[in-house]
Every structure is written in C-alpha cells, then in structure tokens.
Structure 1
Amino acid sequence: MKVTVMGAGAVGCYYGGLLARAGHAVTLIGRQPHVDAVRKRGLLLEIGASCEAVPVTATTNSNGVADAELVLVCVKSGDTETVGRDLVAHLSPGTTVLSLQNGIDNAERLQAVIERHVVPVAVYVATEMAGPGHVRHHGRGDLIMGECPTSGIIAAVFEAAGIPTTISARAIDALWGKLILNCAYNALSAMTQLPYGRLIGIPGIDVVMTDVVEECMAVAAASGVVIPPDCLTGILALADTMPDQFSSTAQDLARGRPSEIDHLNGTIVRRGQALNVPTPVNRVLYTLIKALDSKQQAA
C-alpha cells in the first residue's frame, strides 16, 4: 500500500515507520531538518532495546500525497485547516484519509476543507522525537478507527504491521475518552516538565486529576457522549504503563512550540460554558498553559 504521513512528528513517524518496516511504500511529510535526516540514513525507529533505520521517502512538500492510497494526518490540531487546504489539490479520488490527531473535532474540520470523508482515529501511544529523523517508542500503540468502506482493509494492513486496530461505529466516544485522558495529564506534565510516573507520585496530583476528569465527564454527559464509569481508574493507572512518557504539551513547551491546549482543556472549558457545566479546574490548567505559551512566543 502507498501511504503518506502528513505531519511527521512522533505519532506520524511511529506509525509510518511500522508500516514501512512491514513493506509498504511510506512517504513522510515534515520539517526540513527531519526530512534531511531521513533522506541521509532512513527513519530511526527505536522500540525497546531495538533501533533500526527504516527506509522511507521524506519531503517537505504536500504533493507527497499524490497517488497515495492512504493518508495519515498527524499534524497539530491548530494546523488542521491549513493542512487541509494544502492537501486538497493533491488527493486522488480513491484516497482514504485518516485523522490521527488529539481533540474531538479534527476529522470533522478537515472534512469540511477537503470535501470528502475523513475517518476519525483515537490513538493510544507514547512516543517522542529523540532527534531529527529518530522516533522513540515508550508504550502502547493501539488504535480505535471509525468506519469507512476501506476500514476492514486498512485495519488488516495495520494489524499485519504490528498496530493493534479496532473498528468502531462510535469512534467519537473513544476520542472523548482520549481527550479526557489528555486533559488529566497534558497540562500537569507540561507545567512540571515531569514524566507520568514521577508526576503521579506527587501528593495531591491524583486529586487534581480526579477533579479534572469529573469535570470532563460532566461535559461529555451533557454532550450526549457515553464514557465508561471506570474511566478515572484507567486514567490514573496510565502512569504505571507509561512512566517515562512526557505529555505532548510538555514536549511542545520544551521545544518552544505552540501547544494544543486550545483543543484539549480549552475544549472542555468552551463546551462547559456553552452547556452551563462548571469547569474551574480545567479552566485554571488551560489558562496557565496559555500563559506559558504566551511567554514563550514573546521570548
């Protein structure tokens, strides 16, 4: 299968690397330093004690999606519309587009720009970019994918490449669950610059996370979304399975890049406001990350 990854960061490189290792023709579209490194010695895919150079094509140009059978959109939520406008001129009629992004509305927003169905995918993986062209895996890697005419074929391709994939007619519920998890961890990991394992060990952090999750679940319920009642237990246990993982927001702030907080805790705050559901703890976390964003952009 010919696959293009739009947004070759940690998530895109991990899944693109697995698909390339399984024999698929993968093109990564990303920033110039990353592209240069991949062109020089392949994509370094580090999983556990193994680190191998996987041959892939890399480019900075959105025309890299031309003739692709499958496009994985892995850009930050704030770039969704911009990327959609870049992609629309190069997509083939039969291309399937998947949104592997944080937040709950990226597939819908992207679909409005490219005027074709976009499949929402909830991503559960801990990864980081260890350097240009070098992705490091810390845990998990499973996907919950929405339905489309080619979902069975794509899921089979993913499974064969070592990517556990579940097809669900209610992918939006999974995206909400992932949003709530991100709201619990991302801002706190970013403000402390601590990985999940050390973060959860700080006295009182679990109480703050509980408050965050309860607010999120109230907003979800008011939105008609079904969240499992044991959601909090699973979220607090995540630190045990990904102890060394820094949140994507922590990684963004450490690199001086804008965060996705508007599409994480910010989403809960805005929806809570519209539905008359109080979200004071999410509002505090959202505001503090926005302040840190503003400080970095002004520096």
Structure 2
Amino acid sequence: MPLHTTSPNDRLHFAVMGAGAVGCYFGALLARAGHGVTLIGRQAHVDAIRAHGLRLQTATQDSHLPLAASTDASAVQGADVVLLCVKSTDTEAAARQMLPHLAPGALVLTLQNGVDNEERVRAVLGPAQPVAAAVVYVATAMAGTGHVRHFGRGELVLAPSAQAGRLVRELAQAGIPTEVSDNVRGALWAKLVINCAYNALSAMVQRPYGWLVQQDGATAVIADLVAECLAVAQADGVRLPGDIHTAVRGIAESMPGQISSTAQDLARGHPTEIAHLNGYVVQRGAALGVATPVNRALLVLVRMAEAARLATL
C-alpha cells in the first residue's frame, strides 16, 4: 500500500529506532528538509538533543537542529517510516519493542550492517507490516552526546516496495541520494564483504583503513578474507553487483582515516556486530560446506578482545 501520512502539511513523519551515528545523520537531513523526525536512543543523547538540539557537523557546516527525542520505543507511534538503525545484535529485541506501537502500513526500513536483518524483523512483525532492506553508504560517528559528525558519502539503496517511489523522492529532496534495486541482497553482500575485509582488522589494532593497507602482508590477508566471502556468496546463490575487488581497494583510498565501527565499539567497551559480519560468513560457510579459516580467525580474535575488554571494566 502507498505511504500514508498523518502530517497536516503532507510531509512524512520518520522515527529513528536506534539513533546512533547513522540514524542521527539521516534524521538530521530529514528534519532539515521539513519532515517530522523522532529520534529514539540512549538517555545521554536524548537529554542532550532535548536541551540543545542535535548537533550536525559536516565538512561545510556545524549546526544544531531541534528534533523530538525519546528513549522509549513507543515513540514510533504515528510514524510513516521507521528507520531501524540498531546494532544487528539487537534486531529482534527492537522489533518486539516496536511491534505494539507501529501504525498499520508504516514502513520499517532496516539500515543496518549484515544481510539478514529484513527477514529477522519480518519474522517478529509478521507479514502485514511492510519491511524493506536498505543498503547504507555513509561514514559517520558520534563525536559526543547529541553530536553526530559526517565524514563522507550518504546514499541509500532500497529494496523494491509499494512505498519506494514516494520515499525515493522525499529522501532525494532531503539531500539523501537514493535508488531502488532489485538486487539489494547482492548489494548487502557486497557491503558485507567490505566490512569483513576491514572491520575486524581495524578493530584489532585500533587503526584506520589507510594505515592497515600499508602494513606488510595486510593486503594479502584482506584478499584471503574477500576470497572466502565470495566463495560463500557464490555457494549461496548471491549475485554481487559491480567489481567487488575494486570496491574493496577503494575503501582504503577514499576513507584512509576511517576507523571501523567494530573498532569504535571495541574501544568503548560496547558489544560488536562481529557475529553478523565475519561470523555470518563463517556460519553460512559451515552450512554450505565452504571453508572460511581466515574469517573464523578474525571472528575469534575480536571475540577474545571483547572478553578481555569486558574483564577490565
């Protein structure tokens, strides 16, 4: 069904469930374009946003935007579109929290790492609730409470849906380049391959992508990681778009100073998404009879680093 709208000026209302760096960035752009936006996140961020607005810092601006903010999932009530931006480890829990409050016909877009969040959300919400996957290409970080910093890119690729046409137009008008693809699964896998290539390595040494590829033997390890991912994808019937090897190299060239989200989580003592990155490749490889020893090694190393970090807190 088409997107309904409850706003008197016929603008869409968005809720961001899991308002971290990605959700805050896109929420800020949507609010700046005149859409209603409610951010749902952690108490410290919510308090800062309520007191001072959301601080959006980019290469060309540094501004504070007034936005509604809440710590409660009930704040999705009345939203036309929910941007689900929680960590992949929290997908089912967030879906269960939203379930009693979602408006009929409200579209839930999964803007998350990993390749299976859409089906996991759908399993909780049921077939009547529209759910679609989105592939996110953006470099952002929370630079402080209520303060999101943008480093580069910012486009989305959406799965086809009855709501996609209007949503693409509204997002584009908000400065979010968006396209619809009938191969979102392949695009999600392509992003997964890139994440598997860099995230765990960046996390283990707490260094950015540009530094990694300058180290002796690092590009060979990255090549092994990518080869395993591609073997699993092929066995799983996934068709990756474009030239994945060029895309992998391009990340270190275009974002040399970027530290992975896994590295940031590990440094802060937060749970990482490693089970849904290299761990997913290991899991699918085991199910399909494809060996993934390099991905398994990185999975175990990050898990050990998590356990060691937890023991010091």
Same fold (TM over 0.5): yes
Q: How many Å separate the matches in 1 of 2:227 and 2:240?
A: 11
2:201 maps to 1:185: no
Offset of 1:229 from its aligned partner? 6.5
Q: How many Å separate the matches in 2 of 1:229 and 1:222?
A: 18
* Contact kept? 1:138, 1:244, Cα under 8 Å: no
Counterpart of 1:61 in structure 2 is 72
Offset of 1:297 from its aligned partner? 2.4
2:123 maps to 1:104: no
Offset of 1:53 from its aligned partner? 0.5
Alignment of 1:105-184 (within 5 A): 105-115=116-126, 116-184=129-197
2:219 maps to 1:206: yes
2:55 maps to 1:44: yes
* Contact kept? 2:105, 2:130, Cα under 8 Å: no
* Contact kept? 1:196, 1:246, Cα under 8 Å: yes
Structure 1 residues 8-56: Cα deviation after superposition (integer angstroms, max 9, x where no partner): 0011011111111111111000000000110111111111141111111
Tell me, which stretches of 5 or more residues in structure 2 are unaligned? 1-11
Q: How many Å separate the matches in 2 of 1:286 and 1:141?
A: 28
Offset of 1:101 from its aligned partner? 0.5
* Contact kept? 2:56, 2:149, Cα under 8 Å: yes
Counterpart of 1:84 in structure 2 is 95
TM-score (norm 1): 0.98
Offset of 1:105 from its aligned partner? 0.5
Partner of 1:153, secondary structure, is helix
Partner of 1:257, secondary structure, is coil
* Contact kept? 1:127, 1:245, Cα under 8 Å: no
Q: How many Å separate the matches in 1 of 2:33 and 2:182?
A: 27
Q: How many Å separate the matches in 2 of 1:24 and 1:163?
A: 13
Match among 202, 210, 227 for residue 197 of structure 1: 210
Q: How many Å separate the matches in 1 of 2:15 and 2:237?
A: 34
* Contact kept? 2:186, 2:241, Cα under 8 Å: no
Q: How many Å separate the matches in 2 of 1:77 and 1:158?
A: 23
Counterpart of 1:244 in structure 2 is 257
Structure 1 residues 82-114: Cα deviation after superposition (integer angstroms, max 9, x where no partner): 101100000000211100000010110011101
Tell me, which stretches of 5 or more residues in structure 1 are unaligned? none
Q: How many Å separate the matches in 1 of 2:253 and 2:21?
A: 21
TM-score (norm 2): 0.94
User: Aligned pair in 2 of structure 1 residues 97, 228: CA closer, same or farther (>3 Å)?
Assistant: closer
Offset of 1:80 from its aligned partner? 0.5
Q: How many Å separate the matches in 1 of 2:302 and 2:210?
A: 21
Match among 254, 259, 277 for residue 264 of structure 1: 277
Offset of 1:77 from its aligned partner? 0.5
* Contact kept? 1:12, 1:74, Cα under 8 Å: yes
Offset of 1:228 from its aligned partner? 4.1
* Contact kept? 2:16, 2:39, Cα under 8 Å: yes
Counterpart of 2:7 in structure 1 is none
Structure 1 ranges of 4+ moved more than 6 A: none
Amino acid at match of 2:149: R
Partner of 1:89, secondary structure, is helix
Alignment of 1:7-46 (within 5 A): 7-46=18-57
- State the identity %: 53
* Contact kept? 2:95, 2:124, Cα under 8 Å: yes
